[in-house]
Amino acid sequence: MDDRTLVEALQAGDPQAPRLLIERFQGVVFGLCYRMMGHRQDAEDVAQDTFLRALRGMAGFDVSRQVRPWLLGIAANRCRTALSRRSRRPVLADCVEDQVDHRPGLTDPDDLAGELEKALGRLRPHYRMVFTLYHEQNLPYEEIGAAIGRPIGTVKTWLHRARAELAEHLSRRGVHC
């Protein structure tokens, strides 16, 4: 069943269609949520909220649109909302991060993935979101812009800045790409 047929089935009230929608898109939605939220449980909560909102809004969805960017846009908005709420709460874990040894150079030269994960976690949420949508979800600029409600020029700028900040962080940590 292609995306258009799936949307039509959802709009017609097919009881199997919600399960099919979730199965088809749970990986990309959860991937974005996990990258944005940084914690599995938070990502699961936001992904679930994304699908609930999508299913509620499916009646008015235009079948000529692509489903994936629309869902990722909902997920991005839910992540931003959750991150905003999280930033207003006091977090004891912030003290622990400050006590970690930040000497230049890697303790394990093979841990590039770990260093990249740390660097991604330090990006501004909107930079991290664009970076994730482009490099991990393989979305073109147009779909990213549609998903996050920003012009293509902004998407390109944020992606450029994300790459520059990542390169700077990795360089400071002794990783040379």
**Is the backbone of residue 90 left (phi > 0), alpha (psi -120 to 50) or beta?**
beta
Q: Alpha-carbon distance 38 to 136, whole Å?
A: 15
Q: What is the pLDDT of residue 121?
A: 85
pLDDT, mean over the chain = 84
pLDDT digits (tens, 9 = 90+) for 106-131: 445 456 777 888 888 888 988 998 99
**Fold type of domain 100-177:** Arc Repressor Mutant, subunit A (1.10.10)
Q: What is the pLDDT of residue 43?
A: 94
- Predicted model pTM: 0.69
Does 20 or 169 have the greater pLDDT score?
20
**Fold type of domain 1-89:** Rna Polymerase Sigma Factor; Chain: A (1.10.1740)
Same fold, 1-89 and 100-177: no
Q: What is the pLDDT of residue 147?
A: 85
pLDDT digits (tens, 9 = 90+) for 13-67: 999 999 999 999 999 999 999 988 888 999 999 999 999 999 999 999 998 888 9
Q: Alpha-carbon distance 141 to 168, whole Å?
A: 24
Domain boundary assignment for the chain: 1-89, 100-177
Is the sign of the CA dihedral 66, 117, 120, 112 positive or negative?
negative
Is the sign of the CA dihedral 45, 97, 122, 166 positive or negative?
negative
Give burial (CB, 10 Å; 0-12/13-18/19+) of 163. Answer: middle
